[in-house]
Chain A
Amino acid sequence: GENVEQHPSTLSVQEGDSAVIKCTYSDSASNYFPWYKQELGKRPQLIIDIRSNVGEKKDQRIAVTLNKTAKHFSLHITETQPEDSAVYFCAASSGGATNKLIFGTGTLLAVQP
């Protein structure tokens, strides 16, 4: 079955710096890759996603890149702000006839003011 690995598990950056979180997946049939942000005590919220027919997608300060050959995708946050501090999860669709998502283990991002 699909397996998603996420790195790093924790990331600390200075305000204004960039942050990059990387994920790899195993199922070549996966074609949808979302990223969720979860603040402490809150629900995971979808912040950006990419489908396999696109290599890069950007939304203001966040961007996601996808390399299907290498089976990895990354989240890039530029000009980080303290409110970006949260746990970020990547996920990949499981492929096949279902619409399950397989989630990574999460990255705790701390933006130091």
Chain B
Amino acid sequence: DAGVIQSPRHEVTEMGQEVTLRCKPISGHNSLFWYRQTMMRGLELLIYFNNNVPIDDSGMPEDRFSAKMPNASFSTLKIQPSEPRDSAVYFCASSSDGLLYEQYFGPGTRLTVT
């Protein structure tokens, strides 16, 4: 099992640019979660999907953030336009309804916006 896969692992971009983060959940998992981690705010849930449908996006900071899950094996988190305060580590995690709540995290994407 390859685990949750995220790309890119590191992203450096200039303020105002569009950033797209990608995630492939564990095969067979039907829930996918996007988190943001910073020293100041800790681990924050941004959005979560179940069976490709967004269930709770109350953690999405503002309209500059959007997320999609076009199929069971792929999700994107897009920031447009990016700002320096978006600098953080973004984690994707997945879980299965059969093992309720057990979430497994990907390696994360470290985003730096200059």
> Chain A: residues with CB nearer than 8 A to chain B?
32, 34, 36, 42-46, 49, 89, 93, 98-103, 105-106
Interface window among B16-24, B63-71, B73-81, B98-106: B98-106
A103 to B59, CA, bound (A): 13
A49 to B108, CA, bound (A): 22
Counting from the closest, the 10 A-B pairs by CB-CB distance are A43-B105, A32-B101, A103-B43, A93-B101, A105-B42, A44-B105, A99-B101, A43-B107, A43-B108, A99-B100
A49 to B42, CA, bound (A): 20
Q: Are A103 and B42 in contact (CB under 8 A)?
A: yes
Closest residue to A33 on the B side, CB-wise? B101
Q: What total count of A-B pairs have CB within 8 Å?
A: 48
Give the distance to chain B from A71, nearest Cβ to Cβ, in Å: 17
Q: Are A43 and B103 in contact (CB under 8 A)?
A: no
Give the distance to chain B from A94, nearest Cβ to Cβ, in Å: 9
Interface residues of B in 82-105 (CB under 8 A from A): 91, 95, 97, 100-105
Q: Are B108 and A100 in contact (CB under 8 A)?
A: no
A49-B43 contact given A44-B91, A98-B55, A100-B56, CB 8 Å threshold: no
Q: Are A98 and B107 in contact (CB under 8 A)?
A: no
Q: Given known contacts A98-B55, A100-B48, A105-B42, what 17 new A-B pairs fall within 8 Å (CB)? A: A34-B101, A36-B105, A42-B107, A43-B105, A43-B106, A43-B108, A49-B101, A49-B102, A93-B100, A98-B48, A99-B31, A99-B50, A99-B95, A102-B45, A103-B43, A103-B45, A106-B43
Give the distance to chain B from A51, nearest Cβ to Cβ, in Å: 9
A46-B107 contact given A99-B95, A100-B45, CB 8 Å threshold: no
Most buried by B among A36, A45, A101: A101
